A and B are shown apart, each in its own frame.
Chain A
Amino acid sequence: MSETQVRECDPNLPDDVQALIGTLQYEEVGEFPVERGYFWTSAASVENGNPLFWDDAVADEITDGPVAPLMLLSAWFRPHHWAPSRAVEKLPLQIHFDLKARFELPEAIMTENTTIFHEPVRPGDLITSAQRLVSVTEELDRRLGTGRFWIIDVEYRNQRGELCGIERWEGFGYRRDPA
Protein backbone atom coordinates (compact mmCIF):
# COMPACT_ATOMS: atom_id res chain seq x y z
CA MET A 1 0.00 0.00 0.00
CA SER A 2 1.35 3.43 -0.88
CA GLU A 3 2.36 5.95 1.75
CA THR A 4 1.27 9.55 1.98
CA GLN A 5 3.24 11.32 -0.72
CA VAL A 6 5.60 13.83 0.83
CA ARG A 7 5.37 17.03 -1.19
CA GLU A 8 8.62 18.81 -2.00
CA CYS A 9 9.84 20.72 1.03
CA ASP A 10 10.43 24.47 0.71
CA PRO A 11 14.22 24.78 0.19
CA ASN A 12 14.12 28.25 1.70
CA LEU A 13 12.35 27.49 4.97
CA PRO A 14 13.23 29.84 7.83
CA ASP A 15 16.03 28.38 9.96
CA ASP A 16 13.82 27.93 13.02
CA VAL A 17 11.32 25.82 11.05
CA GLN A 18 14.03 23.88 9.22
CA ALA A 19 15.54 22.95 12.58
CA LEU A 20 12.29 21.32 13.67
CA ILE A 21 12.07 18.90 10.75
CA GLY A 22 12.71 15.39 12.04
CA THR A 23 12.75 16.51 15.68
CA LEU A 24 10.49 14.73 18.18
CA GLN A 25 8.33 17.29 20.02
CA TYR A 26 5.45 17.45 22.47
CA GLU A 27 5.88 14.03 24.05
CA GLU A 28 2.87 13.90 26.33
CA VAL A 29 0.92 11.42 28.40
CA GLY A 30 -2.83 11.41 27.70
CA GLU A 31 -4.98 13.42 30.08
CA PHE A 32 -7.07 10.40 31.10
CA PRO A 33 -6.91 6.60 31.02
CA VAL A 34 -8.59 5.06 27.98
CA GLU A 35 -12.25 4.58 28.82
CA ARG A 36 -14.70 2.22 27.22
CA GLY A 37 -17.53 4.75 26.93
CA TYR A 38 -15.67 6.32 24.04
CA PHE A 39 -15.60 2.95 22.25
CA TRP A 40 -19.40 2.86 22.24
CA THR A 41 -19.79 6.56 21.40
CA SER A 42 -17.39 6.21 18.47
CA ALA A 43 -19.00 3.00 17.18
CA ALA A 44 -22.45 4.60 17.54
CA SER A 45 -21.35 7.70 15.61
CA VAL A 46 -20.77 5.57 12.51
CA GLU A 47 -23.38 2.90 13.32
CA ASN A 48 -20.62 0.30 13.54
CA GLY A 49 -22.20 -2.95 14.73
CA ASN A 50 -18.92 -4.88 14.92
CA PRO A 51 -19.54 -7.26 17.86
CA LEU A 52 -15.98 -6.68 19.08
CA PHE A 53 -17.29 -3.42 20.53
CA TRP A 54 -20.72 -4.56 21.71
CA ASP A 55 -20.49 -8.22 22.75
CA ASP A 56 -18.09 -9.09 25.57
CA ALA A 57 -18.13 -12.80 24.70
CA VAL A 58 -16.95 -12.03 21.14
CA ALA A 59 -14.31 -9.60 22.43
CA ASP A 60 -13.07 -12.21 24.93
CA GLU A 61 -12.83 -14.86 22.24
CA ILE A 62 -11.21 -12.80 19.48
CA THR A 63 -9.25 -9.99 21.16
CA ASP A 64 -8.81 -11.29 24.74
CA GLY A 65 -11.17 -8.58 25.98
CA PRO A 66 -12.43 -5.19 24.79
CA VAL A 67 -10.37 -3.16 22.33
CA ALA A 68 -10.93 0.35 21.04
CA PRO A 69 -12.13 1.04 17.51
CA LEU A 70 -8.82 1.49 15.72
CA MET A 71 -9.51 4.89 14.20
CA LEU A 72 -10.17 6.26 17.67
CA LEU A 73 -6.39 6.34 18.15
CA SER A 74 -6.02 10.12 17.93
CA ALA A 75 -8.77 10.67 20.52
CA TRP A 76 -6.41 9.56 23.27
CA PHE A 77 -4.08 12.53 22.76
CA ARG A 78 -6.74 15.19 22.32
CA PRO A 79 -6.84 17.43 25.40
CA HIS A 80 -9.96 18.37 27.29
CA HIS A 81 -11.58 21.52 25.90
CA TRP A 82 -11.21 23.07 29.33
CA ALA A 83 -9.39 22.15 32.50
CA PRO A 84 -8.90 23.99 35.80
CA SER A 85 -5.80 26.17 36.01
CA ARG A 86 -5.39 26.15 32.23
CA ALA A 87 -5.52 29.75 31.04
CA VAL A 88 -5.11 28.99 27.34
CA GLU A 89 -6.90 26.28 25.39
CA LYS A 90 -4.60 23.32 24.88
CA LEU A 91 -4.65 22.06 21.31
CA PRO A 92 -4.09 18.65 19.76
CA LEU A 93 -1.44 18.27 17.05
CA GLN A 94 0.30 21.35 18.43
CA ILE A 95 2.86 21.47 15.61
CA HIS A 96 -0.02 22.13 13.19
CA PHE A 97 -1.06 25.19 15.19
CA ASP A 98 2.55 26.30 15.66
CA LEU A 99 2.98 26.36 11.88
CA LYS A 100 -0.26 28.29 11.39
CA ALA A 101 1.03 30.94 13.78
CA ARG A 102 4.59 30.92 12.45
CA PHE A 103 3.49 31.50 8.84
CA GLU A 104 0.51 33.71 9.76
CA LEU A 105 -1.98 31.38 8.10
CA PRO A 106 -5.26 31.81 9.98
CA GLU A 107 -7.15 28.87 8.49
CA ALA A 108 -6.24 25.23 8.07
CA ILE A 109 -7.73 21.91 7.10
CA MET A 110 -6.42 18.36 7.24
CA THR A 111 -6.18 16.82 3.78
CA GLU A 112 -4.77 13.34 4.27
CA ASN A 113 -4.22 10.74 6.98
CA THR A 114 -2.31 7.49 7.00
CA THR A 115 -2.43 5.32 10.12
CA ILE A 116 -0.46 2.15 10.79
CA PHE A 117 -2.01 0.09 13.57
CA HIS A 118 -0.01 -2.02 15.98
CA GLU A 119 -1.01 -3.13 19.52
CA PRO A 120 -4.72 -2.47 20.09
CA VAL A 121 -5.72 0.12 22.69
CA ARG A 122 -7.61 -1.28 25.68
CA PRO A 123 -9.62 0.18 28.57
CA GLY A 124 -7.32 1.58 31.25
CA ASP A 125 -4.37 2.14 28.92
CA LEU A 126 -2.51 5.40 29.31
CA ILE A 127 -1.34 6.53 25.89
CA THR A 128 1.76 8.64 25.34
CA SER A 129 2.03 10.55 22.08
CA ALA A 130 4.86 12.41 20.42
CA GLN A 131 4.88 14.54 17.27
CA ARG A 132 7.44 15.02 14.52
CA LEU A 133 7.40 17.57 11.69
CA VAL A 134 8.21 15.87 8.38
CA SER A 135 7.93 18.60 5.73
CA VAL A 136 6.59 22.06 4.85
CA THR A 137 6.04 23.22 1.26
CA GLU A 138 6.46 26.60 -0.32
CA GLU A 139 3.38 28.83 -0.50
CA LEU A 140 0.94 27.46 -3.06
CA ASP A 141 -2.35 28.73 -4.52
CA ARG A 142 -5.31 26.42 -3.99
CA ARG A 143 -9.10 26.72 -4.24
CA LEU A 144 -9.44 27.63 -0.57
CA GLY A 145 -6.67 30.22 -0.64
CA THR A 146 -2.90 30.62 -0.53
CA GLY A 147 -0.87 28.61 1.93
CA ARG A 148 1.43 25.74 2.71
CA PHE A 149 1.03 21.98 3.05
CA TRP A 150 2.79 20.27 5.93
CA ILE A 151 3.16 16.70 7.16
CA ILE A 152 3.29 15.72 10.82
CA ASP A 153 3.81 12.21 12.24
CA VAL A 154 2.32 11.23 15.60
CA GLU A 155 3.51 8.13 17.44
CA TYR A 156 1.38 6.48 20.12
CA ARG A 157 2.62 4.08 22.83
CA ASN A 158 0.86 2.46 25.76
CA GLN A 159 2.03 2.45 29.39
CA ARG A 160 4.18 -0.63 28.67
CA GLY A 161 5.99 1.21 25.90
CA GLU A 162 4.36 -0.90 23.20
CA LEU A 163 3.76 0.88 19.90
CA CYS A 164 0.01 1.26 19.33
CA GLY A 165 0.16 3.15 16.07
CA ILE A 166 1.70 5.83 13.92
CA GLU A 167 -0.37 8.51 12.24
CA ARG A 168 0.82 10.71 9.40
CA TRP A 169 -1.26 13.85 8.93
CA GLU A 170 -1.09 16.21 5.98
CA GLY A 171 -2.55 19.66 6.66
CA PHE A 172 -2.99 22.78 4.56
CA GLY A 173 -2.68 26.12 6.34
CA TYR A 174 -3.97 29.03 4.32
CA ARG A 175 -5.26 32.56 4.14
CA ARG A 176 -8.38 33.16 2.12
CA ASP A 177 -7.79 35.19 -1.00
CA PRO A 178 -9.58 38.56 -1.11
CA ALA A 179 -12.98 38.23 -2.82
Chain B
Amino acid sequence: MISLDQVQVGDTLPTLSYDVTSTTVVLGALAARDWRPMHHDHHFAVERQGVQDIFLNSPNQGSWLERFVTDWTGPKGRLGRLRFKMRKPIFPGDTMVFEGTVRAVSVDDAGCGWVELDLTIRVGDVTCTESEAKVAVPTSPDDNPWQRHGDDWRP
Protein backbone atom coordinates (compact mmCIF):
# COMPACT_ATOMS: atom_id res chain seq x y z
CA MET B 1 0.00 0.00 0.00
CA ILE B 2 1.32 3.42 -0.86
CA SER B 3 1.03 6.59 1.19
CA LEU B 4 1.10 10.17 -0.02
CA ASP B 5 4.69 10.78 1.08
CA GLN B 6 5.83 8.01 -1.29
CA VAL B 7 4.33 9.69 -4.37
CA GLN B 8 5.92 12.36 -6.55
CA VAL B 9 4.81 14.17 -9.68
CA GLY B 10 6.13 12.31 -12.70
CA ASP B 11 6.04 8.88 -11.05
CA THR B 12 4.75 6.17 -13.36
CA LEU B 13 2.42 3.31 -12.52
CA PRO B 14 3.45 -0.27 -13.29
CA THR B 15 2.26 -1.04 -16.82
CA LEU B 16 -0.59 -3.53 -17.19
CA SER B 17 -0.98 -5.55 -20.38
CA TYR B 18 -4.00 -7.73 -21.15
CA ASP B 19 -5.08 -9.75 -24.19
CA VAL B 20 -8.76 -9.09 -24.93
CA THR B 21 -10.95 -12.00 -26.03
CA SER B 22 -14.66 -12.22 -26.85
CA THR B 23 -15.12 -13.56 -23.33
CA THR B 24 -13.49 -10.43 -21.90
CA VAL B 25 -16.01 -8.27 -23.77
CA VAL B 26 -19.11 -10.34 -22.99
CA LEU B 27 -18.20 -10.97 -19.36
CA GLY B 28 -17.50 -7.29 -18.82
CA ALA B 29 -20.81 -6.22 -20.36
CA LEU B 30 -22.87 -8.73 -18.39
CA ALA B 31 -21.04 -7.91 -15.16
CA ALA B 32 -22.19 -4.30 -15.65
CA ARG B 33 -25.73 -5.42 -16.56
CA ASP B 34 -25.27 -3.94 -20.04
CA TRP B 35 -27.39 -6.00 -22.41
CA ARG B 36 -26.86 -3.86 -25.52
CA PRO B 37 -26.08 -6.12 -28.50
CA MET B 38 -22.90 -4.40 -29.70
CA HIS B 39 -21.19 -5.94 -26.67
CA HIS B 40 -22.17 -9.55 -27.39
CA ASP B 41 -23.54 -9.84 -30.97
CA HIS B 42 -20.85 -9.79 -33.67
CA HIS B 43 -23.35 -9.39 -36.51
CA PHE B 44 -25.08 -6.44 -34.85
CA ALA B 45 -21.75 -4.73 -34.20
CA VAL B 46 -20.56 -5.18 -37.79
CA GLU B 47 -23.76 -4.77 -39.77
CA ARG B 48 -25.60 -2.18 -37.68
CA GLN B 49 -22.83 -0.24 -35.98
CA GLY B 50 -20.25 -0.42 -38.73
CA VAL B 51 -17.37 -1.56 -36.53
CA GLN B 52 -15.18 -4.64 -36.94
CA ASP B 53 -16.42 -6.69 -33.99
CA ILE B 54 -18.07 -6.52 -30.56
CA PHE B 55 -16.22 -4.08 -28.30
CA LEU B 56 -15.61 -3.34 -24.61
CA ASN B 57 -18.49 -1.42 -23.04
CA SER B 58 -17.99 1.84 -21.18
CA PRO B 59 -18.55 0.75 -17.56
CA ASN B 60 -16.21 -2.19 -18.06
CA GLN B 61 -13.48 0.11 -19.37
CA GLY B 62 -14.02 2.10 -16.20
CA SER B 63 -13.68 -1.07 -14.15
CA TRP B 64 -10.39 -1.88 -15.87
CA LEU B 65 -9.13 1.62 -15.07
CA GLU B 66 -10.31 1.31 -11.45
CA ARG B 67 -8.40 -1.97 -11.16
CA PHE B 68 -5.28 -0.42 -12.75
CA VAL B 69 -5.29 2.45 -10.23
CA THR B 70 -5.97 0.36 -7.12
CA ASP B 71 -3.41 -2.27 -8.15
CA TRP B 72 -0.98 0.58 -7.57
CA THR B 73 -2.49 2.24 -4.48
CA GLY B 74 -3.56 -0.87 -2.59
CA PRO B 75 -6.97 -1.26 -0.93
CA LYS B 76 -6.82 2.00 1.05
CA GLY B 77 -6.74 3.91 -2.24
CA ARG B 78 -10.20 5.41 -2.78
CA LEU B 79 -11.18 6.82 -6.16
CA GLY B 80 -12.75 10.25 -5.98
CA ARG B 81 -13.16 10.88 -9.69
CA LEU B 82 -12.57 8.99 -12.89
CA ARG B 83 -12.94 10.45 -16.36
CA PHE B 84 -12.32 8.55 -19.55
CA LYS B 85 -12.73 9.41 -23.19
CA MET B 86 -13.05 6.52 -25.62
CA ARG B 87 -11.44 7.52 -28.92
CA LYS B 88 -11.40 4.08 -30.51
CA PRO B 89 -13.20 0.87 -29.58
CA ILE B 90 -11.28 -2.04 -28.06
CA PHE B 91 -11.96 -5.38 -29.77
CA PRO B 92 -11.27 -9.07 -29.19
CA GLY B 93 -7.73 -9.78 -30.37
CA ASP B 94 -6.43 -6.43 -29.12
CA THR B 95 -3.77 -6.30 -26.43
CA MET B 96 -4.65 -3.48 -24.05
CA VAL B 97 -1.72 -1.69 -22.44
CA PHE B 98 -2.52 0.50 -19.44
CA GLU B 99 -0.08 3.28 -18.59
CA GLY B 100 -0.25 6.03 -15.98
CA THR B 101 1.69 9.02 -14.70
CA VAL B 102 1.27 11.13 -11.58
CA ARG B 103 0.27 14.67 -12.60
CA ALA B 104 -0.35 16.23 -9.17
CA VAL B 105 -0.10 15.49 -5.46
CA SER B 106 -1.99 17.54 -2.87
CA VAL B 107 -3.70 17.66 0.51
CA ASP B 108 -7.10 19.34 0.69
CA ASP B 109 -8.46 21.56 3.47
CA ALA B 110 -10.00 18.53 5.17
CA GLY B 111 -6.60 16.84 5.34
CA CYS B 112 -7.29 14.29 2.63
CA GLY B 113 -4.33 13.30 0.45
CA TRP B 114 -4.97 13.26 -3.28
CA VAL B 115 -3.05 11.96 -6.28
CA GLU B 116 -4.11 13.00 -9.78
CA LEU B 117 -3.20 10.63 -12.58
CA ASP B 118 -3.08 10.76 -16.37
CA LEU B 119 -3.96 7.33 -17.74
CA THR B 120 -4.17 5.74 -21.16
CA ILE B 121 -5.28 2.47 -22.66
CA ARG B 122 -3.21 1.80 -25.74
CA VAL B 123 -3.49 -0.89 -28.41
CA GLY B 124 -0.26 -1.02 -30.38
CA ASP B 125 0.61 2.57 -31.20
CA VAL B 126 -2.98 3.77 -30.95
CA THR B 127 -4.32 5.42 -27.81
CA CYS B 128 -7.84 4.04 -27.57
CA THR B 129 -8.84 5.64 -24.28
CA GLU B 130 -7.57 8.72 -22.46
CA SER B 131 -8.35 9.01 -18.79
CA GLU B 132 -7.79 11.09 -15.69
CA ALA B 133 -8.23 9.82 -12.15
CA LYS B 134 -8.23 11.51 -8.77
CA VAL B 135 -7.55 9.01 -6.01
CA ALA B 136 -7.24 9.53 -2.26
CA VAL B 137 -4.36 7.75 -0.52
CA PRO B 138 -3.39 7.72 3.17
CA THR B 139 -1.33 10.63 4.43
CA SER B 140 0.02 8.59 7.35
CA PRO B 141 -0.02 4.95 8.52
CA ASP B 142 -3.20 5.46 10.54
CA ASP B 143 -5.06 7.51 7.90
CA ASN B 144 -7.79 5.80 5.89
CA PRO B 145 -9.57 7.73 3.11
CA TRP B 146 -12.53 5.30 3.26
CA GLN B 147 -13.39 6.68 6.72
CA ARG B 148 -14.12 10.11 5.25
CA HIS B 149 -17.76 11.12 4.89
CA GLY B 150 -19.76 14.31 4.34
CA ASP B 151 -17.66 17.47 4.43
CA ASP B 152 -14.47 15.47 5.00
CA TRP B 153 -14.81 13.82 1.57
CA ARG B 154 -14.37 16.35 -1.26
CA PRO B 155 -13.73 14.48 -4.51
A residues near B, CB below 8 A? 1-4, 38, 41-52, 58, 62-64, 67, 69-72, 74-75, 78, 81, 92, 106-107, 109-120, 144-145, 169, 176
Contact between A114 and B67 (Cβ–Cβ < 8 Å)? no
Interface majority SS (helix, strand, loop, mixed), chain A: mixed
How many whole Å from B77's CB to the nearest CB in chain A? 9
Asked, given contacts A1-B134, A112-B85, A115-B82, whether A69 binds B33 with beta carbons under 8 Å apart, the answer is no
Q: Of all chain A residues, which has the CB nearest B48?
A: A107
B residues near A, CB below 8 A? 18, 24, 27-28, 30-35, 38, 48-50, 58-60, 62-67, 70-71, 75-76, 78-86, 89, 116, 132-134, 144, 146, 149, 153, 155
Contacts of A169 in B (CB 8 A): 58
How many whole Å from A141's CB to the nearest CB in chain B? 14
How many whole Å from B138's CB to the nearest CB in chain A? 10
Contact between B132 and A2 (Cβ–Cβ < 8 Å)? yes
Q: Of all chain B residues, which has the CB nearest A82?
A: B35
Contact between A78 and B76 (Cβ–Cβ < 8 Å)? no
Asked, given contacts A50-B75, A81-B35, A145-B50, whether A112 binds B59 with beta carbons under 8 Å apart, the answer is no
How many whole Å from A152's CB to the nearest CB in chain B? 12
Contacts of B24 in A (CB 8 A): 45
Contact between B66 and A70 (Cβ–Cβ < 8 Å)? yes
Q: Of all chain A residues, which has the CB nearest B86?
A: A111
> 18 A-B pairs, CB-CB below 8 angstroms?
A1-B83, A38-B33, A45-B28, A46-B63, A46-B64, A48-B71, A71-B65, A72-B63, A75-B33, A78-B34, A106-B48, A110-B86, A112-B86, A113-B83, A114-B83, A115-B82, A116-B81, A116-B155
How many whole Å from A65's CB to the nearest CB in chain B? 11
Contact between A75 and B85 (Cβ–Cβ < 8 Å)? no
Contacts of A67 in B (CB 8 A): 146
Contacts of A120 in B (CB 8 A): 146
Contacts of B79 in A (CB 8 A): 70, 117
How many whole Å from A6's CB to the nearest CB in chain B? 13
Contacts of A176 in B (CB 8 A): 50
Q: Whole-angstrom distance between the alpha carbons of A110 and B75 in the complex?
A: 29
Residue from B31, B82, B134 in contact with A41 in the complex, judged by beta carbons closer than 8 Å: B31
Q: Whole-angstrom distance between the alpha carbons of A74 and B82 in the complex?
A: 14
Q: Whole-angstrom distance between the alpha carbons of A124 and B67 in the complex?
A: 24
Contacts of B32 in A (CB 8 A): 42, 72, 74-75, 78
Q: Whole-angstrom distance between the alpha carbons of A62 and B75 in the complex?
A: 8
How many whole Å from B52's CB to the nearest CB in chain A? 12
Q: Whole-angstrom distance between the alpha carbons of A104 and B13 in the complex?
A: 44
Q: Whole-angstrom distance between the alpha carbons of A50 and B70 in the complex?
A: 7
Asked, given contacts A46-B64, A69-B63, whether A38 binds B81 with beta carbons under 8 Å apart, the answer is no
How many whole Å from A112's CB to the nearest CB in chain B? 4
How many whole Å from B81's CB to the nearest CB in chain A? 5
Contact between B116 and A1 (Cβ–Cβ < 8 Å)? yes
Contact between B67 and A47 (Cβ–Cβ < 8 Å)? yes
Contacts of A50 in B (CB 8 A): 67, 70-71, 75
Q: Whole-angstrom distance between the alpha carbons of A81 and B66 in the complex?
A: 26
